[in-house]
A and B are shown apart, each in its own frame.
Chain A
């Protein structure tokens, strides 16, 4: 599956916030070879004062997906997206419009509006959304060609809270690249998301706040790749009764 025409070398999108130091962040990227680095832009750095950190991110050598983390309105998100395009020279933008401070739940109405504005302006939008089918449909109508539903609230590490919803999203939009963004706390969550047929996972806290971020990043990419391989291998259907893998004829199986 291509993300606005780009094929990713592996399904891991990794955030760049919350690490103990930029050096440890760089190690996590090196260990995992994460395909994409997401980065949030704060106004404080807009006058060029954040340049040193941005340069460290550019030096990671990965694809860069800037985001509008922390924006609560369409206007803020659009302004931040323009800043990001200038700083990182990319049309990609992970669009985040937060609707609630404690859950960091996306405001899907403002999100759709901002997605429309940005798409018309030439951006390639990766919207952080819920798993709601109607919201997904509206975002696609607004011009998005990728959807990034949450697994659970940002930073919670709770995994996939609504697996049915995510599965249903996959089934309804078989040709749209889908990314589970937020909520992944463990490699098993990452594997599960990929087993559902998702095309990538995006995470940050689970790696950045691990005791050993580099090892956790590696574990995440391994799990995501395993889940992806399993999905493409067409896994068996679970069943209630045991199914013998060797013939039972001639054995006293009716006892």
Chain B
């Protein structure tokens, strides 16, 4: 009998399993599918490791733990591109850029010339921008699959039936609302497009008062466009408006995106608590790790390390939610 079983093999479950296995724990990993896939919200993530940018609207822990995440993913999954990220705004939205700069750190202001040096295809399109040199990005699907493969190599394959174990770690994301009533869904819609006419070498954010967009290069002319943020747990339908807005924003970034081929439409709902920060809760022998919101890849490594330490030593983790013991 394994010591610990982990229910859910999305970004939370896979990182928790990785951290426990690294500590020599015998774990079982349970999910309805044997591989990471479209049923997990993290499958649709942008894959930006952009803690400085996220700090614009996120709380301090997102920056602190997000900075550690870049190395964690590089070490445990590989495929991390450390090329920084670029934030731009159209001339009419310069006040949004100033505001973004006031709320963030870790950037250098760049003018049209420097923007052209960083991203030649954006030369002459924007007068000012912010360059966050220490940020990075990865391909979420490759990263999740790499974690799965590394675990399998250590004898932990994803199983479909829950077992009796001393400890259960519930990493089911939004599906755990049956036992975590204060979890809510925040719907996100995204597109994957192919546009070989445009070359971008790092994530680019286009600020806009209504439709902020980010675009993450996935290599070979493929890009991820994202993502909407809607207070809804609906996770199957994209609206025409969302698609229109994301594509218009991409078109404003570079008109050549008008020629892009739409490869995939992704919709899911992120699991979140009221402060949009993750929580670790414990009820008897079950530990709940949830609420990664839009920061799955940024915060999962820290969440996982805290869960592992808690399970093995009983330590009270930073993300522990004592009110819901």
The smallest beta-carbon distance between A98 and chain B, in angstroms, is 12
Interface of chain A residues 18 through 56 with chain B (CB within 8 A): 20-24, 26, 42-45, 47, 49-53, 56
- By beta carbon, the residue of chain B nearest A48 is B233
Contact call A45/B232, Cβ cutoff below 8 A = yes
Contact call B99/A49, Cβ cutoff below 8 A = no
- By beta carbon, the residue of chain B nearest A47 is B234
The smallest beta-carbon distance between A184 and chain B, in angstroms, is 16
Contact call B102/A211, Cβ cutoff below 8 A = yes
Interface of chain B residues 252 through 288 with chain A (CB within 8 A): 269, 273-276
- Picked from B99, B183, B274, the residue with its CB within 8 Å of the CB of A209 is B99
- Range of interface residues on chain B? 20 to 34
Contacting residues, chain B, for A50 (C-beta < 8 A): 231-233
Contacting residues, chain A, for B99 (C-beta < 8 A): 209
Q: Is A155 an interface residue (CB 8 A)?
A: yes
B interface footprint on A10-21 (CB within 8 Å = 1, 0 otherwise): 000000000011
- Picked from B102, B269, B276, the residue with its CB within 8 Å of the CB of A21 is B276
- Picked from B57, B103, B187, B275, the residue with its CB within 8 Å of the CB of A23 is B275
The smallest beta-carbon distance between A144 and chain B, in angstroms, is 27
How far apart sit A22 and B230, CA to CA, in the bound complex (Å)?
12
Contact call A44/B274, Cβ cutoff below 8 A = no
- Consensus secondary structure, chain B interface: loop
Q: Is B28 an interface residue (CB 8 A)?
A: no
- Range of interface residues on chain A? 20 to 34
Interface of chain B residues 201 through 253 with chain A (CB within 8 A): 209, 230-234, 237, 239
How far apart sit A116 and B103, CA to CA, in the bound complex (Å)?
44
Contacting residues, chain B, for A52 (C-beta < 8 A): 183-185, 231, 233
How far apart sit A22 and B209, CA to CA, in the bound complex (Å)?
19
Contact call B187/A44, Cβ cutoff below 8 A = yes
Contacting residues, chain A, for B269 (C-beta < 8 A): 49
Q: If A21-B276, A23-B274 touch, does A44 touch B234 (CB 8 Å cutoff)?
A: yes
A interface footprint on B94-105 (CB within 8 Å = 1, 0 otherwise): 000001001100
Contact call B276/A42, Cβ cutoff below 8 A = no
Name the residue among A23, A45, A52, A155 with the largest chain B CB count within 10 angstroms: A52
Contact call A44/B103, Cβ cutoff below 8 A = no
Contact call A21/B232, Cβ cutoff below 8 A = no
- Measured CB to CB, the residues of A under 8 A from B are 20-24, 26, 42-45, 47, 49-53, 56, 155, 209, 211
